[in-house]
């Protein structure tokens, strides 16, 4: 079964899509996204993050896993869509995925500037 279909993974893009026509990516969008991703990695234990994939860098993207606690730059084709992909794949632990309130509280603690959404329920 796909990790996405279990509710344990999300792909988040830092590309901006214009309503009409192409929109340039610009390096500032990636820099801002990396700063956000760095906070996720730093708080991986609290957030229950098990893995992150970054599809953008050459030669074939990079991956971070909780059992290594470091990024590995892939030297051979490892993840489809790399290099040049404008998104991150983030996976959380199974026990985190079972409790929306726990995920919400963890993200509120790590990112207090994000407005709270009260509609999410367990």
Residue-wise pLDDT tens digits, 62-112: 999 999 999 999 999 999 999 999 999 999 999 988 888 888 889 899 999
Mean pLDDT value across the chain: 87
Helix (H/G/I), strand (E/B), else coil: 76: coil
- Tokens in use for 4? 């996405």
pLDDT at 6 over 90: no
- Give residue 18's pLDDT band: very low, low, confident or very high (50, 70, 90): low
Domain residue limits, the chain: 4-110
User: Are 63 and 53 spatial neighbours (Cβ–Cβ below 8 Å)?
Assistant: yes
pTM of this prediction exceeds 0.85: no
- Residue-wise pLDDT for 46-61, tens only, equals 999 999 999 999 999 9
User: Any idea what DSSP says for residue 27?
Assistant: H
The edge-to-edge listing of strands for the beta sheet with 62-65 is 9-13, 87-92, 49-54, 62-65, 70-73
Strand pairing category for 9-13 and 87-92: antiparallel
CA atoms within 13 A on the CB side of 116: 10
């Amino acid at each position: 079964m796909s990790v996405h279909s279990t509710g344990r993974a999300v792909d988040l893009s830092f590309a901006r899509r214009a309503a009409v026509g192409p929109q340039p990516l610009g390096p500032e969008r990636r820099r801002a996204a990396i700063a956000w991703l760095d906070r996720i990695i730093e708080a991986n234990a609290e957030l229950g993050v098990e893995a992150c994939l970054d599809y953008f860098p050459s030669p074939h993207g990079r991956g971070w896993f909780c059992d290594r606690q470091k990024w590995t730059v892939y030297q051979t084709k490892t993840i489809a869509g790399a290099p040049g992909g404008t998104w991150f794949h983030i996976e959380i632990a199974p026990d985190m995925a079972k409790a929306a309130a726990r995920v919400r509280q963890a993200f509120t603690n790590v990112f207090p500037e994000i407005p709270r959404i009260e509609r999410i329920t367990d």
